Structure 1
Amino acid sequence: MHHFSVWAPQRKKVSVQVDGTEYPMAGPSERGFWKADVEAAVHGSDYGFLLDDDPKPYPDPRSFWQPKDVHSHSRVLDHGKFAWTDEKFRPSPLPSAIIYEMHLGTFTEGGTFDSAIEKLDYLYDLGITHIELLPVASYEGSFSWGYDGVSPYAPDESYGGPEAVKRFVNACHEKGLGVILDVVYNHFGPAGNYTQMFGPYFTERHHTPWGAAINFEEGGSDQVRRYFIDNALMWLREYHFDGLRLDAVHELIDRSAMHFLEQLSLEVEDLSAALGRELFLIGETDLNDPKFVTPREANGFGLDAQWSDDFHHALFTLIHHEQSGYYQDFGTVDQLATTLKQVFLYDGRYSRFRQHNHGRQVQKISYHRFLGYIQNHDQIGNRAKGERLEHLVGMQKAKLAAAVVMTAPFLPMIFMGEEWAAATPWMYFADFQDEDLRKNVRDGRKRDFQHFGWSEDVPNPEDPATVEASKLKWSELEDPKHDEMFRWYRDLIHLRRRTLALNLGDFSRMVVHHSEEDRWIYTDRGNIRTMINLSENETPFAVEPGSELLLSSDVAPSREGDCVMVPPLSVAIYHWPPQPLDQDPPA
């Protein structure tokens, strides 16, 4: 027997159709729920809901399993059938995390959870502590970045379905790797979303870049909030994910006394206590507002960390010199130095791109509340041709950027293939079936690129060849050039993981010096000095007495006394006094 429940407050009659047989549902309750116990329904039974006199069965908004596609029947899933073996696993604490962002469909040739399992030893040896998966919720078509999902509770079948997710997470935990899932609560995809047939999931009072906003504050919003919070708890409880990355949280428009994010963080904290394991939430936001990671007790939302684009933009414009779009607000050595010390460059100052003052200062918050990166799915995939960093700036500058990220005080994140300077691009792709929607997507991409002055032909997002071209070519690791970059990333990651000073989140432990004219920066973090030469000339840097070279992105700097000459466009990392580098990072 299976208990069916669906929220449909505006319907006069609701039935559930199970394996072709219709069963009436009792309701609506005061809150708009319809319910039925069906003896014949078991794990694997197909079902859909019949609304009023509409003969079409609609998929369950809370469907755990969409075996055919997002337009067809749902399938009953018993989460208790999977045999977990990860009871003893505990992930590395978030402050010592090295995060690896992964799109499952292009990470391997197979593009599935099971094929990704074959690469876990590689990631562990690289030094990764957490894998961050792009969204895996069911979407229309055969391929997607994942941000067009319309069935948030059901992993897409193209990746292997629900059981494959569990096999993957269980295998990661057995290898000692934590797993973070990217989830989307600010919109549904434009095709295959049937929630509006059931209740007021949207409001026209507010709008986002995707249309009408999710209803977090008006009539019926209690159940809409419950829908998304229960979704988050499901991924953490039933699939054993260690954390969630929340897409574009600035588009979660909510004027309630308790903001949706505050409620979510509270309930995740309660679940963490009940399960006896650490769970965390990471938010993506471009508001430069520390309230997202400020504790609830201090009137914040209580997220554990957030992305920080200012650091990326400041570093990227120094090595690529791009000045279009939002990059026009960046481009000086002083700006990179500011982000290294203060997190946000735009902390209330005027933004030429936005044409208004932007952001707020970060105060009394650990650096561990912010992620640092030079590549991610957006910064690569939202370029016209999906060029990776090394495609744009070459190996020398890409190695420099990697060292800056790995020695910066933020939680470092890399995008799949970055660690070997993958030759493959990573482009935008989406397999919508409606031709008008396809055209709108193509035209919209071209309009977006005009802001950056990119006149290149844009690869066709719905062409399967675009997906194939974006898949990693693992054989590249056998090439000396790619192996050189891989070894550089591995050495940087291992250095960071075993060096206490590089894991400290205290603002007072971060000292930054720089010269705009001579284009250099050096940072001191405890007994670690990172010398960043952004100029085309060999540049002198002072070192502490007794300092020893740990890593250099170029040839080892020449030295005379307490002065070293760092080669052009390179980074050198020293420590003093000589001591073992085997201290565990802080919990």
Structure 2
Amino acid sequence: MRDHRNLGAYCDGGIFTISVWAPTHDKIFFHPINGKEMEMDKEGEYFSLELEGSKDSDQYMLNVDGNILADPLSRYQPRGVGGPSILVDTSRFKWSTDRWEQHKMDEQIIYEMHLGTFTMEGTYRGAENKLQYLKDLGVTAIEIMPLSQAYGTRNWGYDGVFPFSPSYSYGLPSDLAHFIDRCHSVGLSCFLDIVYNHLGPVGNVFPSFAPYFSNKYSTPWGQAINLDGPYSGGVREMLLANLSYWVEDYSFDGFRMDSTQNIYDSSPRHFLSEVTNLVHSLSSRLGRKILIIAESDKNDVSIIRPPEKCGLGFDGVWADDLHHSFHSYTTGEKAGYYSDYGNFSDISYTLEHGFLYDGKYSKYLKASRGTDFSGQNPSSLIVALQNHDQIGNRALGERISTLVSFEELKLGASVFILSPFTPMIFMGEEYGETSPFWFFMQTEDRKFAEIVNSGRRREFKDFGWPDKIRDPDSDSTFMESKLKWSEDAKSRCILALYKDLIQARMDYIQSSGRDNWKVLSEKNVIKISYPNTELTVIHNFAHEPVKVSGRVILNTSSPRFGGSNTNSGIISEPGSVLAIQS
């Protein structure tokens, strides 16, 4: 199998070589912006050329049947999807350390961020200024929303069309390497959100080179990737090389793989199995922990089962049942997929069993959904009070902090962080950010912009949200999505709570052998006990206080967290969480 050093333009020992997969073409020409066009040598399905005299930052394109196009495996596109590609010598990146703090799956506290809205600067360098803050919060890993170059100057990243090219919107490739190096220096891992189910609709040059797309399958966002049809071997090879590239050239520590249910493959060995095998092989060869997390709406434990038990071997999977259960119960929302949720018992059941839909019939899907989670490692479920989807894919982009009371917000934070599962925090959540996180993009094509708007309005109909939505292409939509970093009294209380919750989790839950947790639910009160550390967490959703005994570890109703409970007795106030040790 070709790796990333044999695909696209790569520098070895100061000499650049370019390799292009184009199995249905007879000729491909290398087209330097400042130089003479050269025909590339063909060998089998590949065209290659040693680029004598070329240097880092040189611009080039490729001539395919008379069409001058960017390299689909370009390492950098500083003038956008229609501009020339740039040669990048990643061996020139400067790294301050080759050893850094690493965390297993059951030690993770993940922090999801969009680099363009995390700081006002919206750059790698701007984000570096907040890394020590995240470490002090208790975060172990940053998960960056997709970086692959997409159309326009701003985008969520899921419409990328150059999978090897980090977006120019956030800085240079060397700035990305510096950002990851700084993460490692302060003790943070860095995960990348990757999209292998489709490519974006604007600026996509792949079809001009090879049959990268399937004629059998489609996704909600366009053609599916060709993983099992004619020439699919070259497609799989490219995607696997992309994984190696991010790990070996940029030192990423893991991945979140977008919408795996839309990655279609009928091959004897599923592509996703190859993905996890490669990631774990890289981890073993490089001697560092590299994790791979799937996004899936299937509640299917085969995703996280090891290959020897007929599973795909992912280290973790996003699990939405706990979010949907808490959100629907506290906000009263019952439209769209929330129609499957809303009962108090849904929260307690999910905390006990991992999946609410573990084979049950879904009224929303009109079909049974999910599998039994029993016997699985609870740390393999990634749960979140908020994430980019559950905020940005609302018509008004509201955060949970604007939808529930202050006490319910604190209760929600505790439900997720003190659960047996792996918690993920969405940027700004830790201090109660109230600014919306809209869906945004930027394009000069007004027709395309209206297609996007129309599609989102159709999605929102199920939820009964307003038909008039915020224009994703507006400058103000993007600017209003940036974090405001409030430091008022309320924000300080929420931030203090998040720090203490994470510390309590590290002290009493991560070390407790979470396969042994127990859940008791009665009269709108949920008690989770971790026998190995004698910790009990009491989530009081009721309207009456609950008296308990034990040593108080944390009480969300205390003045430190903006509450008014100064009672010397051990009382769980209505709408609060009390963590005690027997």
Please state which band the TM-score falls in when normalised by the shorter chain. over 0.9
Aligned partner of 2:184 in structure 1 is 173
Whole-angstrom CA distance in 1 between matches of 2:513 and 2:548: 25
**Pairwise CA distance, 1:176:** 0.6
Aligned partner of 1:538 in structure 2 is 544
Alignment CA distance shift 1:103-1:503 (3 Å): farther
* Partner of residue 226 from structure 1, selected from 232, 237, 242: 237
* Partner of residue 379 from structure 1, selected from 371, 385, 390: 390
What are the superposed Cα offsets for residues 372-425 of structure 1, whole Å, 9 maximum, x if unpaired? 111000001111111111100021111000011111011110000001111211
Does the residue aligned with 1:393 lie in a helix, a strand or coil?
coil
Aligned partner of 2:26 in structure 1 is 12
Whole-angstrom CA distance in 1 between matches of 2:337 and 2:265: 26
The answer to whether the aligner puts 1:298 opposite 2:309 as a matched pair is: yes
Q: Is the 8 A contact 1:459 1:466 kept in 2?
A: yes
**Pairwise CA distance, 1:505:** 5.2
Whole-angstrom CA distance in 2 between matches of 1:436 and 1:450: 22
Q: Is the 8 A contact 1:333 1:521 kept in 2?
A: no
Q: Is the 8 A contact 1:99 1:412 kept in 2?
A: yes
The answer to whether the aligner puts 1:26 opposite 2:35 as a matched pair is: no
Q: Is the 8 A contact 1:407 1:496 kept in 2?
A: yes
Alignment CA distance shift 1:68-1:505 (3 Å): farther
**Pairwise CA distance, 1:94:** 2.1
**Pairwise CA distance, 1:364:** 2.2
What are the superposed Cα offsets for residues 275-327 of structure 1, whole Å, 9 maximum, x if unpaired? 11111100000011011111011111111000000111111112111101101
Paired AA for residue 436 in structure 1 = K
Aligned partner of 1:430 in structure 2 is 441
Q: Is the 8 A contact 2:461 2:467 kept in 1?
A: no
* Partner of residue 448 from structure 1, selected from 459, 464, 479: 459
The answer to whether the aligner puts 1:84 opposite 2:90 as a matched pair is: no
The answer to whether the aligner puts 1:524 opposite 2:532 as a matched pair is: no
Does the residue aligned with 1:436 lie in a helix, a strand or coil?
helix
Whole-angstrom CA distance in 2 between matches of 1:419 and 1:503: 23
Q: Is the 8 A contact 1:333 1:520 kept in 2?
A: no
**Pairwise CA distance, 1:252:** 0.6
Whole-angstrom CA distance in 2 between matches of 1:395 and 1:104: 28
Whole-angstrom CA distance in 2 between matches of 1:130 and 1:161: 22
Q: How does 1:352-363 map to 2 (within 5 A)?
A: 352-363=363-374
What are the superposed Cα offsets for residues 186-208 of structure 1, whole Å, 9 maximum, x if unpaired? 11111011100000110121111
What are the superposed Cα offsets for residues 327-375 of structure 1, whole Å, 9 maximum, x if unpaired? 1111112211111111111111100000001111113210011111110
Whole-angstrom CA distance in 1 between matches of 2:97 and 2:116: 25
Whole-angstrom CA distance in 2 between matches of 1:376 and 1:362: 23
What are the superposed Cα offsets for residues 14-35 of structure 1, whole Å, 9 maximum, x if unpaired? 10112342010122x33x1111
Whole-angstrom CA distance in 2 between matches of 1:456 and 1:493: 39
**Pairwise CA distance, 1:502:** 4.3
- Once structures 1 and 2 are overlaid, which stretch shifts more, 126-135 or 549-558? 549-558
What are the superposed Cα offsets for residues 230-270 of structure 1, whole Å, 9 maximum, x if unpaired? 11111111111110110001111011111111111111111
Whole-angstrom CA distance in 1 between matches of 2:489 and 2:321: 33
Aligned partner of 2:57 in structure 1 is 44
Whole-angstrom CA distance in 2 between matches of 1:205 and 1:505: 45
Whole-angstrom CA distance in 2 between matches of 1:38 and 1:81: 18
Aligned partner of 2:555 in structure 1 is 552
Does the residue aligned with 1:347 lie in a helix, a strand or coil?
coil
Paired AA for residue 546 in structure 2 = P
TM-score by length of 2: 0.94
Q: How does 1:67-466 map to 2 (within 5 A)?
A: 67-455=78-466, 457-466=468-477
The answer to whether the aligner puts 1:513 opposite 2:520 as a matched pair is: yes
Paired AA for residue 572 in structure 2 = V
Alignment CA distance shift 1:557-1:540 (3 Å): farther
Whole-angstrom CA distance in 2 between matches of 1:88 and 1:146: 30
Q: Is the 8 A contact 1:89 1:174 kept in 2?
A: yes
Whole-angstrom CA distance in 1 between matches of 2:325 and 2:568: 30
**Pairwise CA distance, 1:36:** 1.3
Does the residue aligned with 1:13 lie in a helix, a strand or coil?
coil
Alignment CA distance shift 1:382-1:411 (3 Å): same
TM-score by length of 1: 0.93
Alignment CA distance shift 1:436-1:504 (3 Å): farther
The answer to whether the aligner puts 1:490 opposite 2:499 as a matched pair is: yes
Whole-angstrom CA distance in 2 between matches of 1:443 and 1:573: 47
Paired AA for residue 59 in structure 1 = A
Alignment CA distance shift 1:456-1:440 (3 Å): closer
**Pairwise CA distance, 1:539:** 3.4
Whole-angstrom CA distance in 1 between matches of 2:510 and 2:305: 23
Q: Is the 8 A contact 1:242 1:278 kept in 2?
A: yes
What are the superposed Cα offsets for residues 54-95 of structure 1, whole Å, 9 maximum, x if unpaired? 1x3211111111121111111111110012112121322221
Aligned structure 1 segments of 4 or more residues deviating by more than 2 angstroms: 501-507, 539-543, 555-560
Does the residue aligned with 2:504 lie in a helix, a strand or coil?
helix
Whole-angstrom CA distance in 2 between matches of 1:158 and 1:424: 22
Does the residue aligned with 2:203 lie in a helix, a strand or coil?
coil
Whole-angstrom CA distance in 2 between matches of 1:65 and 1:558: 60
Paired AA for residue 234 in structure 2 = Q
Paired AA for residue 57 in structure 2 = G
Aligned partner of 2:72 in structure 1 is 61
Does the residue aligned with 1:451 lie in a helix, a strand or coil?
helix
- Once structures 1 and 2 are overlaid, which stretch shifts more, 316-325 or 167-176? 316-325
Paired AA for residue 521 in structure 2 = H
Whole-angstrom CA distance in 2 between matches of 1:81 and 1:505: 44
**Pairwise CA distance, 1:557:** 8.2
Paired AA for residue 16 in structure 1 = F
Gaps of 5+ in 2: 1-14, 559-564
**Pairwise CA distance, 1:549:** 1.0
Q: Is the 8 A contact 2:147 2:166 kept in 1?
A: yes
Whole-angstrom CA distance in 1 between matches of 2:580 and 2:288: 37
Q: How many pairs align?
A: 559
Q: Is the 8 A contact 1:85 1:170 kept in 2?
A: yes
Q: Is the 8 A contact 2:283 2:290 kept in 1?
A: yes
Paired AA for residue 522 in structure 1 = K
Q: Is the 8 A contact 2:103 2:289 kept in 1?
A: no
The answer to whether the aligner puts 1:573 opposite 2:576 as a matched pair is: no
Does the residue aligned with 2:404 lie in a helix, a strand or coil?
helix
Alignment CA distance shift 1:557-1:523 (3 Å): farther
The answer to whether the aligner puts 1:35 opposite 2:40 as a matched pair is: no
Q: Is the 8 A contact 1:512 1:522 kept in 2?
A: yes
Aligned partner of 1:579 in structure 2 is none
